């Protein structure tokens, strides 16, 4: 049997935009198949952390390895080829292409029959395969964005606020689909309760630095911790 892939290790990472440093000396490890919630108040650097992993920021120091392969020396497309899948906050949907055409752009050389994986994960996309990307609801666009990333068969999936602006029933549907995945996932999310239910581990950021790291279930029960670092009060 082949060894499970997708061990991500970030060590002393400092990065930002040009000379502006947003994340400082950030270290975290996610085991192969692990699920990490990356949480923090607005503007603390969560998006910047994910964007740095995929090579879209200025890195000032530190390393990022995926299964021992140093990613920082690679460009964005080589990182994707190495196994990183990224669903940005902006939802990567081509509005002028149909759902199916959008999905085809994610095939990365795989046969067209692989599209059935996307339709089986999100039957709604199958029903709307001939609709334009611009005609979709916010929830359908998010499904499309996630499904397209998955068609590339990533070993690590990076999700930036996938639930933003979605109705609770659609959030349920999306989280159910995500919980069926077996790869490594880093989830940035403002819906703290859902993120902690999904993840095994949590990392909390404040002003670009790690201020808490530990099991998600313990964090969920520690209301003082959640209040201190996230400013949220979950229902008891």
Should residue 229 be labelled a site residue for ligand ATP when binding is judged by CB under 6 A? no
Q: Say which residues have a Cβ less than 8 Å from residue 229's Cβ, sequence separation at least 6.
A: 39, 40, 41, 204, 206, 211, 212
Nearest-approach distance from CB 231 to ligand ATP, in angstroms: 12
Binding to ligand ATP (CB under 6 A) within 99-158 occurs at none
Neighbouring CB atoms inside 10 A of 142's CB total 26
Neighbouring CB atoms inside 10 A of 176's CB total 9
**Interface pick for ligand ATP out of 8, 10, 13, 22 (rule CB under 6 A):** 22
Binding to ligand ATP (CB under 6 A) within 196-215 occurs at none
Q: Where are the alpha helices (DSSP H) in the chain?
A: 46-53, 76-82, 99-104, 115-121, 123-127, 138-151, 168-179, 192-198, 216-221, 223-230
Binding to ligand ATP (CB under 6 A) within 44-73 occurs at 44-48
Nearest-approach distance from CB 125 to ligand ATP, in angstroms: 26
Residue identified by tokens 């002003």 is 207
Q: Which stretch binds ligand ATP (CB under 6 A): 40-48, 63-71, 117-125, 130-138?
A: 40-48
Should residue 43 be labelled a site residue for ligand ATP when binding is judged by CB under 6 A? yes
Q: Which stretch binds ligand ATP (CB under 6 A): 38-46, 77-85, 124-132, 179-187?
A: 38-46
Q: Which is nearer to ligand ATP, 48 or 191 (CB)?
A: 48
Q: Degrees (nearest 5) of the Cα angle 87, 88, 91?
A: 85
Interacting residues with ligand ATP (CB under 6 A):
17, 20, 22, 40, 42-48
């Amino acid at each position: 049997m082949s060894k499970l892939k997708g061990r991500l290790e970030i060590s002393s990472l400092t990065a930002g935009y040009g000379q502006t440093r947003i994340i400082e000396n950030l270290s975290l490890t996610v085991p192969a198949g692990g699920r990490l919630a990356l949480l923090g108040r607005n503007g603390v650097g969560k998006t910047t952390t994910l964007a740095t992993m995929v090579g879209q920021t200025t890195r000032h120091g530190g390393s990022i390895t995926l299964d021992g392969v140093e990613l920082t020396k690679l460009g964005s497309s080589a990182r994707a080829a190495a196994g990183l899948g990224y669903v940005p906050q902006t939802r990567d949907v081509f509005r002028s292409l149909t759902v199916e055409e959008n999905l085809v752009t994610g095939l990365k050389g795989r046969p067209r029959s692989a599209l059935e994986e996307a339709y089986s994960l999100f039957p709604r996309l199958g029903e709307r395969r001939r609709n334009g990307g611009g005609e979709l609801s916010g929830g359908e666009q998010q499904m499309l964005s996630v499904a397209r990333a998955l068609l590339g068969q990533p070993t690590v999936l990076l999700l930036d606020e996938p639930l933003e602006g979605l109705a609770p029933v659609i959030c349920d549907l999306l989280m159910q689909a995500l919980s069926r995945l077996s790869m490594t996932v880093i989830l940035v999310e403002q819906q703290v309760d859902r993120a902690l239910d999904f993840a095994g581990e949590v990392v909390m950021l404040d002003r670009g630095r790690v201020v808490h790291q530990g099991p998600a279930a313990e964090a969920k029960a520690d209301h003082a911790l959640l209040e201190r670092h996230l400013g949220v009060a979950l229902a008891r």
